Amino acid sequence: MFNRIYGVAANTFRESLRDRVLVALIVTAIVVMAGAKVVQPVAMGEADKIIKDLGLSAITLFCVLIAVLVGGRIVYREVEKRTIYLILARPVRRLEFILGKYFGLMAVLVLSLLIMTAGFYLILLISRVALTPYLLWAVLMTAFELALLTAVAVFFSTFVTPIASAVFTFIIYFIGHSTYLLKQLAAMSPVPAIKLLGIVLYYLLPNLGNFNIKGDVVYGVPLNFPALGLAALYGLVYSLTLLLISVIIFNRKDF
């Protein structure tokens, strides 16, 4: 089983590495981070924070783009191009296929994250900003956020086109970063139906705000590690659940 998941994952990884989109996104991310340097002369002492903040934001944004753009077509493309026939006609379970796709993409994202983080630290070094490993906590939490978002992308990819999947995943991403609004809506609305809807959506949609500690690390605020551990666990459970639902959908599918 692990051998087959590994086979599918390694192939997905190789496919993405040979994809120009990935290289373009990584390069652009590093260029954007370097762009923060232009503010250095005018930022009056705040430059360090701006460079750090922008760098971490760029890492998250571009990794999210990779997850959404590459992840959104990851399963659909195999179906559309019918390469899936060659895989599923072999002793590969559909569960193994979905997990292989997911882990392959995660490997791509972890690699991208590492390259971007290295680029980020290089820029910090060039800009003579004091290097601190404290910032890496934000990168780690981004990894958990990406794990969740990739599961969302794979989930959509099992039944809608890549473009629709990318759009839906982006929507989930944006709502996921403002789920507190849903809770406020539920608290404020006098209509019971809207109250209920707000609460249901609040608990159903992923709360991505949990993973965002960029501000805290940039300003050196002490981190609440138990809460971060819980957030990581939440991300993993949420991802796993979505992947299982994807497998159920996929299992019922005719090709």
Partner 1 sequence: MSSVVTQPAIETVRLTKFYRAGFRMKRVRALVDLNLQVEKGEIFGFLGPNGAGKTTAIKIIIGLAKPTQGFALVQGKPPRDHRVKKSVGFLPESPYFYEYLTAAEFLGLTAQLSGVPRGELKPRVREMLKMVRMEHAAHIQMKGFSRGMLQRIGIAQALIHDPEVVILDEPMGGLDPIGRKEFRDIILSLRDKGKTVFFSTHILADVEMICDRVGIIVGGKMVKVGKLSEILTSEVESIEVTVRGALGKFRKALERVAQKAIESGEFLMLTVKDDEDVERVMAIAREAGAKVTAIVPRTKTLEDFFMSQVKSFLEEKGDV
Residues engaged in binding partner 1 (CB under 8 A): 3-4, 7-8, 10-11, 14-15, 18-19, 81-83, 85-93, 254-255
Q: At closest approach, how far in Å is the CB of 155 from partner 1?
A: 21
**Nearer Cβ to partner 1, position 10 or 167?**
10
Q: Rounded to an integer, what distance in angstroms lies between the CA atom of residue 201 and that of residue 186? A: 10
Q: At closest approach, how far in Å is the CB of 6 from partner 1?
A: 8
Q: At closest approach, how far in Å is the CB of 251 from partner 1?
A: 10
**Nearer Cβ to partner 1, position 3 or 174?**
3
Cα distances (angstroms) measured from residue 254 to each of 85, 90, 112, 251: 11, 16, 34, 8
**Nearer Cβ to partner 1, position 200 or 248?**
248
**Nearer Cβ to partner 1, position 94 or 214?**
94
Q: Rounded to an integer, what distance in angstroms lies between the CA atom of residue 134 and that of residue 149? A: 24
**Nearer Cβ to partner 1, position 46 or 80?**
80
Q: At closest approach, how far in Å is the CB of 255 from partner 1?
A: 4
Q: At closest approach, how far in Å is the CB of 129 from partner 1?
A: 39
Q: At closest approach, how far in Å is the CB of 167 from partner 1?
A: 22
**Nearer Cβ to partner 1, position 42 or 89?**
89
